[in-house]
Amino acid sequence: MAQFEAFAPDVETNGAAVSSMVEAMGEFKQMALNILEEHGIVAPEEGTWHSQQAWLDAFKEIAEAMGSVTVKMIGKEIPEVVQWPPDIDTVEKSLASIDVAYHMNHRGGDIGHYAFEKTGEQSCKMVCDNPYPCDFDMGIIEATARKFSSEGVHLGIRHETSEQCRKKGDDVCTYLISW
């Protein structure tokens, strides 16, 4: 599936994740709220659930208006607002738990996955098979690793574009991460 196309029609997203878009927009918060409202999403917050496709439609509109840097910033907000499994205290555990957190914050059908594969002592590969944009996933991965890393840890993330890429209409994106 390409970006911005829900895998199933009844999937819903936790309002906390949706509200991260608003927070990441800074001085353009009202624009984000207006676009969300145009797509039927009013007052997204923790504990509310919203159509994933409506959110993806609003997200696409914002991405087209604001660009990839803003999309990545929205992704960076996600780890701060969503529910996480307990006992996450390292970069490796945090990256391995992204898929669990993803499923904790969506419901109602197939949503795809964030597949974690350890490739070395301090490296891994993440294959993202979901309807969200590449830059959003890059922001989530980076902010998750930073949130759970020790001070002074150098983080490297590379979008493996020689593999498939959702920006090109492929089903997945692959990221190589080191810390």
Q: How far apart are CA 138 and CA 156, in angstroms?
A: 11
| Helix, strand counts (H, E) of the chain | 7, 7
Contact by Cβ (8 Å): 93, 138: no
**Predicted confidence (pLDDT) per residue in 67-119, tens digit:** 999 999 999 988 888 778 888 989 999 999 999 999 999 999 999 999 999 99
**Predicted confidence (pLDDT) per residue in 33-61, tens digit:** 999 999 999 989 988 999 999 999 999 99
Neighbour count for residue 79 (Cβ, 10 Å): 22
Q: How far apart are CA 133 and CA 72, in angstroms?
A: 9
Domain count, the chain: 1
Q: Is the pLDDT of residue 152 over 90?
A: no
Interhelix angle 68-81/52-66, rounded to 10 degrees, is: 140
| Phi-psi map region of 154: left, alpha, beta (phi>0 left; psi -120 to 50 alpha) | beta
Segments forming the whole domain that contains residue 137: 1-179
The CATH number linked to 162 is 3.90.1520.10
Q: Which two tokens stand for residue 42?
A: 């009013």
